[in-house]
Protein backbone atom coordinates (compact mmCIF):
# COMPACT_ATOMS: atom_id res chain seq x y z
CA UNK A 1 0.00 0.00 0.00
CA UNK A 2 1.33 3.37 -0.90
CA UNK A 3 -0.23 5.56 1.75
CA UNK A 4 2.95 5.17 3.76
CA UNK A 5 4.97 6.95 1.13
CA UNK A 6 3.34 10.31 1.95
CA UNK A 7 3.93 11.80 -1.46
CA UNK A 8 4.56 15.47 -0.77
CA UNK A 9 4.45 17.58 -3.91
CA UNK A 10 6.81 20.14 -2.41
CA UNK A 11 9.62 17.60 -2.63
CA UNK A 12 9.45 17.17 -6.38
CA UNK A 13 12.51 18.52 -8.18
CA UNK A 14 13.05 18.71 -11.90
CA UNK A 15 16.45 19.20 -13.52
CA UNK A 16 16.77 22.53 -15.26
CA UNK A 17 14.14 24.31 -13.15
CA UNK A 18 15.54 27.15 -11.05
CA UNK A 19 15.35 26.65 -7.31
CA UNK A 20 12.87 28.77 -5.44
CA UNK A 21 11.18 30.01 -8.61
CA UNK A 22 7.59 28.93 -8.52
CA UNK A 23 6.56 27.24 -11.70
CA UNK A 24 4.04 29.00 -13.87
CA UNK A 25 1.03 26.85 -14.27
CA UNK A 26 -1.22 27.40 -17.18
CA UNK A 27 -4.75 27.09 -16.02
CA UNK A 28 -7.07 25.50 -18.45
CA UNK A 29 -10.57 26.26 -17.52
CA UNK A 30 -13.29 24.70 -19.51
CA UNK A 31 -11.85 21.24 -19.85
CA UNK A 32 -12.98 19.96 -16.49
CA UNK A 33 -15.28 17.04 -16.83
CA UNK A 34 -17.73 17.87 -14.09
CA UNK A 35 -20.84 19.77 -13.36
CA UNK A 36 -20.30 22.51 -10.84
CA UNK A 37 -22.07 22.62 -7.52
CA UNK A 38 -25.38 24.36 -7.51
CA UNK A 39 -24.30 26.73 -4.78
CA UNK A 40 -26.67 28.13 -2.19
CA UNK A 41 -29.64 28.31 -4.53
CA UNK A 42 -29.65 24.69 -5.55
CA UNK A 43 -28.63 23.42 -2.13
CA UNK A 44 -30.92 21.13 -0.23
CA UNK A 45 -31.63 21.96 3.37
CA UNK A 46 -31.33 19.08 5.74
CA UNK A 47 -34.11 19.21 8.31
CA UNK A 48 -32.94 20.25 11.77
CA UNK A 49 -29.56 21.50 10.56
CA UNK A 50 -30.44 24.89 9.22
CA UNK A 51 -26.89 25.64 8.09
CA UNK A 52 -26.14 22.29 6.52
CA UNK A 53 -26.28 22.08 2.72
CA UNK A 54 -25.48 19.43 0.19
CA UNK A 55 -23.35 20.40 -2.80
CA UNK A 56 -23.49 18.11 -5.81
CA UNK A 57 -20.01 17.67 -7.28
CA UNK A 58 -19.83 14.56 -9.51
CA UNK A 59 -16.20 15.08 -10.43
CA UNK A 60 -13.59 12.45 -11.30
CA UNK A 61 -10.92 12.46 -8.59
CA UNK A 62 -8.27 12.43 -11.33
CA UNK A 63 -9.86 15.29 -13.31
CA UNK A 64 -6.98 17.72 -12.69
CA UNK A 65 -4.36 15.14 -13.70
CA UNK A 66 -6.41 14.12 -16.72
CA UNK A 67 -6.68 17.75 -17.85
CA UNK A 68 -2.90 18.22 -17.53
CA UNK A 69 -2.36 14.96 -19.42
CA UNK A 70 -4.69 16.11 -22.22
CA UNK A 71 -2.63 19.29 -22.44
CA UNK A 72 0.63 17.29 -22.71
CA UNK A 73 -0.94 14.99 -25.29
CA UNK A 74 -2.06 17.94 -27.44
CA UNK A 75 1.46 19.40 -27.26
CA UNK A 76 3.08 16.11 -28.21
CA UNK A 77 0.63 15.34 -31.00
CA UNK A 78 1.01 18.81 -32.49
CA UNK A 79 4.80 18.40 -32.36
CA UNK A 80 4.53 14.99 -34.04
CA UNK A 81 6.32 13.28 -31.17
CA UNK A 82 5.56 9.75 -30.04
CA UNK A 83 5.53 9.54 -26.23
CA UNK A 84 5.76 6.19 -24.44
CA UNK A 85 5.33 5.73 -20.68
CA UNK A 86 7.50 2.86 -19.42
CA UNK A 87 6.33 1.25 -16.20
CA UNK A 88 7.69 -1.69 -14.19
CA UNK A 89 8.90 -2.72 -10.78
CA UNK A 90 12.38 -1.48 -9.84
CA UNK A 91 15.18 -3.40 -11.53
CA UNK A 92 13.31 -4.97 -14.42
CA UNK A 93 15.61 -3.18 -16.86
CA UNK A 94 13.85 0.01 -17.98
CA UNK A 95 16.97 2.16 -18.00
CA UNK A 96 19.12 -0.53 -19.58
CA UNK A 97 16.53 -0.97 -22.34
CA UNK A 98 16.23 2.79 -22.85
CA UNK A 99 19.99 3.41 -22.97
CA UNK A 100 20.36 0.69 -25.58
CA UNK A 101 17.29 1.93 -27.49
CA UNK A 102 18.65 5.49 -27.49
CA UNK A 103 21.99 4.25 -28.79
CA UNK A 104 20.40 2.19 -31.57
CA UNK A 105 17.68 4.63 -32.66
CA UNK A 106 19.30 8.05 -32.36
CA UNK A 107 20.61 7.93 -35.94
CA UNK A 108 17.10 7.05 -37.21
CA UNK A 109 15.01 9.56 -35.25
CA UNK A 110 15.30 12.29 -32.60
CA UNK A 111 15.15 10.55 -29.21
CA UNK A 112 14.68 12.16 -25.80
CA UNK A 113 14.01 10.77 -22.35
CA UNK A 114 12.32 11.86 -19.13
CA UNK A 115 13.56 9.89 -16.14
CA UNK A 116 11.48 9.48 -12.98
CA UNK A 117 13.04 8.26 -9.74
CA UNK A 118 12.55 9.13 -6.10
CA UNK A 119 16.19 10.17 -5.82
CA UNK A 120 19.43 10.61 -7.82
CA UNK A 121 20.04 11.58 -11.44
CA UNK A 122 21.87 8.30 -12.13
CA UNK A 123 19.40 7.17 -14.79
CA UNK A 124 19.39 10.49 -16.68
CA UNK A 125 23.20 10.35 -16.59
CA UNK A 126 23.11 6.85 -18.10
CA UNK A 127 20.82 8.08 -20.88
CA UNK A 128 22.95 11.15 -21.60
CA UNK A 129 25.98 8.85 -21.79
CA UNK A 130 24.14 7.08 -24.61
CA UNK A 131 24.10 10.40 -26.47
CA UNK A 132 20.53 11.68 -26.18
CA UNK A 133 18.98 14.50 -24.10
CA UNK A 134 17.39 13.52 -20.79
CA UNK A 135 15.64 15.33 -17.93
CA UNK A 136 15.52 13.80 -14.47
CA UNK A 137 12.47 14.19 -12.26
CA UNK A 138 12.98 13.35 -8.59
CA UNK A 139 9.69 12.68 -6.87
CA UNK A 140 11.11 12.63 -3.33
CA UNK A 141 8.85 10.21 -1.51
CA UNK A 142 6.30 10.15 -4.34
CA UNK A 143 5.81 6.76 -5.96
CA UNK A 144 4.62 7.75 -9.45
CA UNK A 145 4.95 10.51 -12.04
CA UNK A 146 1.95 12.71 -12.71
CA UNK A 147 1.03 14.81 -15.74
CA UNK A 148 2.08 18.11 -14.18
CA UNK A 149 5.60 16.83 -13.44
CA UNK A 150 5.92 15.68 -17.04
CA UNK A 151 4.60 19.03 -18.24
CA UNK A 152 7.33 20.79 -16.28
CA UNK A 153 9.97 18.40 -17.60
CA UNK A 154 8.77 18.96 -21.19
CA UNK A 155 9.79 22.61 -20.83
CA UNK A 156 13.38 21.42 -20.46
CA UNK A 157 13.34 19.46 -23.72
CA UNK A 158 13.23 20.46 -27.36
CA UNK A 159 10.62 18.36 -29.11
CA UNK A 160 11.59 17.55 -32.68
CA UNK A 161 8.99 16.43 -35.22
CA UNK A 162 9.08 12.73 -35.93
CA UNK A 163 10.86 12.06 -32.64
CA UNK A 164 10.29 9.61 -29.84
CA UNK A 165 10.04 10.61 -26.18
CA UNK A 166 10.45 7.85 -23.60
CA UNK A 167 9.22 8.49 -20.08
CA UNK A 168 10.67 6.12 -17.49
CA UNK A 169 8.21 6.08 -14.61
CA UNK A 170 9.13 5.49 -10.98
CA UNK A 171 9.79 1.77 -10.43
CA UNK A 172 6.47 0.58 -9.01
CA UNK A 173 3.93 -1.83 -10.48
CA UNK A 174 0.97 -0.29 -8.63
CA UNK A 175 0.86 3.49 -8.29
CA UNK A 176 1.64 4.73 -11.83
CA UNK A 177 -1.24 2.73 -13.38
CA UNK A 178 -3.97 5.35 -12.97
CA UNK A 179 -1.97 8.46 -13.81
CA UNK A 180 -2.20 9.44 -17.46
CA UNK A 181 0.87 11.49 -18.43
CA UNK A 182 -0.30 12.32 -21.95
CA UNK A 183 1.54 9.38 -23.50
CA UNK A 184 0.44 7.58 -26.66
CA UNK A 185 0.81 4.24 -24.86
CA UNK A 186 1.98 2.65 -21.65
CA UNK A 187 4.59 -0.08 -21.99
CA UNK A 188 4.95 -2.47 -19.05
CA UNK A 189 8.34 -4.15 -18.67
CA UNK A 190 8.46 -7.44 -16.78
CA UNK A 191 11.72 -9.31 -16.36
CA UNK A 192 11.74 -13.08 -16.31
CA UNK A 193 13.27 -13.14 -12.82
CA UNK A 194 10.08 -11.64 -11.36
CA UNK A 195 7.79 -14.63 -11.91
CA UNK A 196 5.07 -15.21 -14.49
CA UNK A 197 2.19 -14.48 -12.13
CA UNK A 198 2.83 -10.72 -11.91
CA UNK A 199 0.03 -9.79 -14.36
CA UNK A 200 -2.45 -11.45 -11.99
CA UNK A 201 -0.91 -9.89 -8.88
CA UNK A 202 -0.73 -6.36 -10.33
CA UNK A 203 -3.60 -6.36 -12.82
CA UNK A 204 -4.18 -2.59 -12.98
CA UNK A 205 -0.83 -2.02 -14.66
CA UNK A 206 -1.30 -4.79 -17.22
CA UNK A 207 -4.83 -3.58 -17.91
CA UNK A 208 -3.48 -0.09 -18.65
CA UNK A 209 -0.59 -1.14 -20.91
CA UNK A 210 -0.69 -1.60 -24.67
CA UNK A 211 2.53 -3.62 -24.79
CA UNK A 212 4.23 -5.99 -22.36
CA UNK A 213 7.99 -6.35 -22.86
CA UNK A 214 9.40 -9.50 -21.26
CA UNK A 215 13.00 -8.54 -20.53
CA UNK A 216 16.10 -10.52 -19.48
CA UNK A 217 15.31 -13.30 -21.95
CA UNK A 218 19.00 -14.25 -21.69
CA UNK A 219 18.20 -15.56 -18.19
CA UNK A 220 15.36 -17.87 -19.32
CA UNK A 221 17.64 -20.96 -19.23
CA UNK A 222 18.44 -20.29 -15.57
CA UNK A 223 15.11 -19.38 -13.99
CA UNK A 224 11.78 -21.20 -13.96
CA UNK A 225 9.62 -18.76 -15.93
CA UNK A 226 6.83 -19.97 -18.19
CA UNK A 227 6.52 -17.39 -20.99
CA UNK A 228 3.27 -18.87 -22.36
CA UNK A 229 1.66 -18.84 -18.91
CA UNK A 230 2.74 -15.26 -18.39
CA UNK A 231 1.18 -14.21 -21.71
CA UNK A 232 -2.00 -16.14 -20.86
CA UNK A 233 -2.25 -14.34 -17.50
CA UNK A 234 -1.61 -10.94 -19.09
CA UNK A 235 -4.33 -11.55 -21.71
CA UNK A 236 -6.73 -12.65 -18.97
CA UNK A 237 -6.39 -9.11 -17.64
CA UNK A 238 -6.07 -7.39 -21.03
CA UNK A 239 -7.06 -9.46 -24.09
CA UNK A 240 -5.55 -6.86 -26.45
CA UNK A 241 -2.09 -6.58 -24.87
CA UNK A 242 0.80 -7.08 -27.29
CA UNK A 243 3.89 -8.99 -26.12
CA UNK A 244 7.58 -8.88 -27.05
CA UNK A 245 10.38 -10.93 -25.50
CA UNK A 246 13.77 -9.22 -25.41
CA UNK A 247 17.12 -9.03 -23.70
CA UNK A 248 18.30 -5.47 -23.20
CA UNK A 249 21.67 -6.98 -22.33
CA UNK A 250 22.35 -9.19 -25.38
CA UNK A 251 20.12 -7.35 -27.85
CA UNK A 252 17.94 -10.41 -28.53
CA UNK A 253 14.47 -9.39 -29.75
CA UNK A 254 15.24 -5.69 -29.93
CA UNK A 255 14.55 -5.43 -33.67
CA UNK A 256 10.90 -6.29 -33.01
CA UNK A 257 10.84 -3.61 -30.27
CA UNK A 258 12.24 -1.04 -32.69
CA UNK A 259 9.67 -2.10 -35.33
CA UNK A 260 6.92 -1.62 -32.73
CA UNK A 261 8.23 1.87 -31.95
CA UNK A 262 8.39 2.70 -35.68
CA UNK A 263 4.78 1.59 -36.14
CA UNK A 264 3.63 3.77 -33.22
CA UNK A 265 5.69 6.67 -34.60
CA UNK A 266 3.91 6.37 -37.94
CA UNK A 267 0.58 6.51 -36.08
CA UNK A 268 1.75 9.62 -34.20
CA UNK A 269 2.91 11.21 -37.48
CA UNK A 270 -0.43 10.46 -39.10
CA UNK A 271 -2.16 12.06 -36.10
CA UNK A 272 -0.04 15.21 -36.44
CA UNK A 273 -0.75 15.42 -40.19
CA UNK A 274 -4.48 15.10 -39.49
CA UNK A 275 -4.25 17.92 -36.95
CA UNK A 276 -2.36 20.15 -39.38
CA UNK A 277 -4.89 19.46 -42.16
CA UNK A 278 -7.94 19.90 -39.96
CA UNK B 1 -2.03 3.06 -6.42
CA UNK B 2 -1.42 6.27 -4.74
CA UNK B 3 -4.25 7.06 -2.36
CA UNK B 4 -2.25 9.93 -0.81
CA UNK B 5 -2.17 11.84 -4.10
CA UNK B 6 -5.81 10.92 -4.75
CA UNK B 7 -6.86 12.12 -1.28
CA UNK B 8 -5.09 15.43 -1.97
CA UNK B 9 -7.21 15.76 -5.13
CA UNK B 10 -10.37 14.95 -3.17
CA UNK B 11 -9.60 17.67 -0.62
CA UNK B 12 -8.78 20.24 -3.29
CA UNK B 13 -11.98 19.50 -5.24
CA UNK B 14 -14.02 19.66 -2.01
CA UNK B 15 -12.42 22.92 -0.86
CA UNK B 16 -12.94 24.57 -4.24
CA UNK B 17 -16.62 23.64 -4.30
CA UNK B 18 -17.16 24.64 -0.66
CA UNK B 19 -15.56 28.06 -1.22
CA UNK B 20 -17.60 28.56 -4.37
CA UNK B 21 -20.71 27.99 -2.27
CA UNK B 22 -19.49 30.35 0.45
CA UNK B 23 -19.31 27.57 3.04
CA UNK B 24 -16.98 27.73 6.02
CA UNK B 25 -16.66 24.07 6.79
CA UNK B 26 -17.05 20.72 5.09
CA UNK B 27 -18.81 18.23 7.33
CA UNK B 28 -18.88 15.23 5.02
CA UNK B 29 -17.58 14.10 1.65
CA UNK B 30 -19.14 11.30 -0.39
CA UNK B 31 -17.05 9.33 -2.87
CA UNK B 32 -18.13 6.80 -5.42
CA UNK B 33 -15.42 4.15 -5.76
CA UNK B 34 -15.67 1.25 -8.21
CA UNK B 35 -14.55 -2.20 -7.10
CA UNK B 36 -12.26 -2.30 -10.17
CA UNK B 37 -10.79 1.18 -9.64
CA UNK B 38 -7.32 1.96 -8.33
CA UNK B 39 -8.52 2.79 -4.83
CA UNK B 40 -8.37 0.68 -1.70
CA UNK B 41 -11.10 2.24 0.51
CA UNK B 42 -9.23 1.75 3.78
CA UNK B 43 -6.12 3.36 2.31
CA UNK B 44 -8.26 6.26 1.07
CA UNK B 45 -9.77 6.78 4.55
CA UNK B 46 -6.34 6.83 6.13
CA UNK B 47 -4.96 9.20 3.50
CA UNK B 48 -8.00 11.50 3.67
CA UNK B 49 -7.76 11.95 7.42
CA UNK B 50 -4.06 12.75 7.04
CA UNK B 51 -4.25 15.23 4.16
CA UNK B 52 -7.48 16.98 5.23
CA UNK B 53 -5.80 18.31 8.39
CA UNK B 54 -5.68 22.09 8.28
CA UNK B 55 -8.16 22.25 5.35
CA UNK B 56 -11.87 23.09 5.27
CA UNK B 57 -12.45 19.34 5.31
CA UNK B 58 -10.62 18.69 8.57
CA UNK B 59 -12.71 16.32 10.64
CA UNK B 60 -15.18 15.72 7.81
CA UNK B 61 -16.83 12.31 7.59
CA UNK B 62 -15.81 10.33 4.52
CA UNK B 63 -18.54 8.13 3.03
CA UNK B 64 -17.47 5.68 0.36
CA UNK B 65 -20.16 4.28 -1.89
CA UNK B 66 -18.90 1.08 -3.47
CA UNK B 67 -19.87 0.44 -7.09
CA UNK B 68 -19.72 -3.25 -8.06
CA UNK B 69 -17.41 -4.44 -10.84
CA UNK B 70 -19.38 -5.25 -13.99
CA UNK B 71 -18.25 -7.22 -17.00
CA UNK B 72 -19.37 -9.08 -20.10
CA UNK B 73 -18.41 -12.73 -20.49
CA UNK B 74 -17.60 -13.57 -24.11
CA UNK B 75 -17.64 -17.30 -23.33
CA UNK B 76 -21.21 -17.56 -22.06
CA UNK B 77 -22.61 -14.26 -23.29
CA UNK B 78 -23.72 -13.06 -19.89
CA UNK B 79 -23.57 -9.78 -18.05
CA UNK B 80 -21.67 -10.62 -14.85
CA UNK B 81 -20.37 -9.12 -11.62
CA UNK B 82 -16.69 -9.53 -10.67
CA UNK B 83 -14.85 -8.25 -7.62
CA UNK B 84 -11.36 -7.90 -9.12
CA UNK B 85 -9.61 -7.69 -12.48
CA UNK B 86 -8.59 -11.19 -13.60
CA UNK B 87 -11.54 -12.90 -11.90
CA UNK B 88 -13.16 -15.78 -13.75
CA UNK B 89 -16.78 -15.56 -14.91
CA UNK B 90 -18.89 -16.67 -11.91
CA UNK B 91 -21.35 -18.35 -14.29
CA UNK B 92 -19.08 -20.42 -16.57
CA UNK B 93 -15.56 -20.13 -15.09
CA UNK B 94 -14.14 -18.64 -18.30
CA UNK B 95 -11.64 -15.80 -18.45
CA UNK B 96 -12.86 -14.01 -21.59
CA UNK B 97 -14.19 -11.30 -19.37
CA UNK B 98 -14.46 -7.71 -20.54
CA UNK B 99 -14.87 -5.02 -17.91
CA UNK B 100 -17.87 -2.75 -18.53
CA UNK B 101 -18.19 -0.85 -15.25
CA UNK B 102 -16.99 -0.37 -11.71
CA UNK B 103 -13.83 1.65 -12.44
CA UNK B 104 -15.11 5.03 -11.28
CA UNK B 105 -13.37 7.23 -8.69
CA UNK B 106 -15.59 10.27 -8.16
CA UNK B 107 -16.34 12.92 -5.60
CA UNK B 108 -20.13 12.64 -5.57
CA UNK B 109 -21.21 15.37 -3.17
CA UNK B 110 -20.37 17.28 -0.01
CA UNK B 111 -22.18 18.43 3.04
CA UNK B 112 -21.09 21.88 4.15
CA UNK B 113 -21.94 24.27 6.94
N1 LIG C 1 20.75 -10.48 -17.50
C2 LIG C 1 20.15 -9.31 -17.78
N3 LIG C 1 20.23 -8.28 -16.93
C4 LIG C 1 19.63 -7.13 -17.25
C5 LIG C 1 18.90 -6.96 -18.45
N6 LIG C 1 18.38 -5.72 -18.49
C7 LIG C 1 18.78 -5.10 -17.35
N8 LIG C 1 19.54 -5.95 -16.60
C9 LIG C 1 20.16 -5.69 -15.29
O10 LIG C 1 19.12 -5.47 -14.33
C11 LIG C 1 19.52 -4.50 -13.36
C12 LIG C 1 18.48 -3.39 -13.28
O13 LIG C 1 18.44 -2.71 -14.53
P14 LIG C 1 17.90 -1.22 -14.69
O15 LIG C 1 17.96 -0.91 -16.13
O16 LIG C 1 18.61 -0.30 -13.75
O17 LIG C 1 16.38 -1.39 -14.20
P18 LIG C 1 15.25 -0.29 -13.89
O19 LIG C 1 15.22 -0.12 -12.42
O20 LIG C 1 13.98 -0.89 -14.40
O21 LIG C 1 15.62 0.96 -14.62
C22 LIG C 1 20.89 -4.01 -13.80
O23 LIG C 1 21.86 -4.72 -13.05
C24 LIG C 1 20.94 -4.39 -15.27
O25 LIG C 1 22.26 -4.62 -15.72
C26 LIG C 1 18.82 -8.09 -19.35
O27 LIG C 1 18.19 -8.07 -20.42
N28 LIG C 1 19.45 -9.24 -18.95
MG1 LIG D 1 15.78 3.00 -13.94
ZN1 LIG E 1 -19.19 -16.89 -18.62
Percent of chain A with pLDDT over 70: 83
- Alpha-carbon torsion (A126, A131, A137, A142), positive or negative: negative
pLDDT value of position A52: 84
Q: State which residue of chain A sits closest to B5, comparing Cα positions.
A: A7
Q: In a mutagenesis test of the B interface, which of A33, A57, A169, A209 is the best target, namely the one with the most B β-carbons within 10 Å?
A: A57
- Shortest Cα distance from B29 to chain A (angstroms)? 10
Exposure of B69 in the CB half-sphere (CA atoms within 13 A)? 18
Question: Residue B42 pLDDT more than 70?
Answer: yes
- Whether the model clears a pTM of 0.80, i.e. scores above it, the answer is yes
Order across the sheet with B97-101: list the strands. B78-82, B69-73, B97-101
SS3 call for A205: helix
The yes-or-no verdict on residue A58 having pLDDT over 50 is: yes
Q: Mean pLDDT over all residues of chain A?
A: 87
- At residue A141, the pLDDT reads 87
Domain residue limits, chain B? 3-68+102-112
B113/A53 touch (CB, cutoff 8 Å), yes or no: yes
CATH code of the domain made up of B3-68+102-112: 3.30.2320.50
pLDDT at position B12: 97
pLDDT digits (tens, 9 = 90+) for A118-165: 999 999 999 999 999 999 999 998 999 999 999 999 999 999 999 999
* Cα–Cα distance, B18 to B110 (Å, whole number): 8
Q: Is the pLDDT of residue A45 over 60?
A: no
| More confidently predicted of A70 and A44 | A70
pLDDT of residue A210: 98
Summarize pLDDT for B64-111 with one digit per residue, the tens. Answer: 999 999 999 999 999 999 999 999 999 999 999 999 999 999 999 999
Mean pLDDT of A17-31: 47
Q: What is the mean pLDDT of residues A84-101?
A: 98
Kindly report the length of chain A.
278
Answer whether A184's CB lies under 8 Å from A265's CB.
Answer: no
ipTM: 0.93
Which pLDDT does position A165 carry in this prediction? 98
pLDDT at A232 (0 to 100): 97
Residue A82 has pLDDT above 80, yes or no: yes
Q: Is B48 helix (H, G, I), strand (E, B) or coil?
A: helix
Q: Is the pLDDT of residue A28 over 80?
A: no
State the pLDDT confidence band at A76, using cuts at 50, 70 and 90: very high
B40 phi and psi, to 5 degrees?
-95, 115
* Per-residue pLDDT at A274: 72
Per-residue pLDDT of A211-251, as tens digits, reads 999 999 999 999 999 999 999 999 999 999 999 999 999 99
> Residues within 5 Å of ion ligand 2 by Cβ?
A 94-95, 123
Among A240, A241, A233, A184, which residue's Cα sits nearest to residue A211?
A: A241
Asked if the Cβ–Cβ distance from A200 to B86 is below 8 Å, we say yes
For B10-23, write each residue's pLDDT tens digit. 999 999 999 999 99
Nearest to B95 by CA among B106, B111, B80: B80
The predicted model gives B31-37 an average pLDDT of 97
* The predicted structure's pLDDT at residue A119: 96
pLDDT category at A278 given cuts 50, 70, 90 is low
Q: How confident is the model at residue A277 (pLDDT cuts 50, 70, 90)?
A: confident
Instruction: Determine the distance in angstroms separating the CA of B112 from the nearest CA of chain A, rounded to an integer.
Output: 5
pLDDT band at A102 (very low <50, low <70, confident <90, very high): very high
> Tell me, what's the pLDDT at A273?
73
Report which secondary-structure segment, H or E, holds A56. Answer: strand A53-60
Indicate if the pLDDT at residue A184 is higher than 90: yes
Nearest to A177 among B1, B5, B110 (CB): B1
In the reported structure, the alpha carbon of residue B99 is separated from the centroid of ligand 3 by a whole-number distance in angstroms of: 13
CB-nearest to B10 from A49, A61, A207 is A61
Q: Distance between CA A263 and CA A252 in Å, rounded? A: 19
Confidence class of residue A19 from pLDDT cuts 50, 70 and 90? low
Q: How confident is the model over A181-207, as a mean pLDDT?
A: 97
pLDDT over 90 at A22, yes or no: no
Q: Which residues of B touch A (CB under 8 A)?
A: 1-6, 8-10, 12-14, 17-18, 20-23, 27, 31, 37-38, 40, 43, 46-47, 50, 84-86, 95-99, 104-113
Amino acid sequence: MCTTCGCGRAEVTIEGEGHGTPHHHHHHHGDHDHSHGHGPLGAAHAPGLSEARIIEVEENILAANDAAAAHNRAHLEAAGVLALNLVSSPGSGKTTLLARTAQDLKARMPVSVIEGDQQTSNDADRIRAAGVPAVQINTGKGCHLDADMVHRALHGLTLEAGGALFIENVGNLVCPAGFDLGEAAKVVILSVTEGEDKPLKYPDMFAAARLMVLNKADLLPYVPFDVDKCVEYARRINPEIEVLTVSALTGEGLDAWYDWIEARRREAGAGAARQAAG
Amino acid sequence: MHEMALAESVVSIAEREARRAGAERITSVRLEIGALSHVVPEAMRFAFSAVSRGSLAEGARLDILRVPGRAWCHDCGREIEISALGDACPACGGYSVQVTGGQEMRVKDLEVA
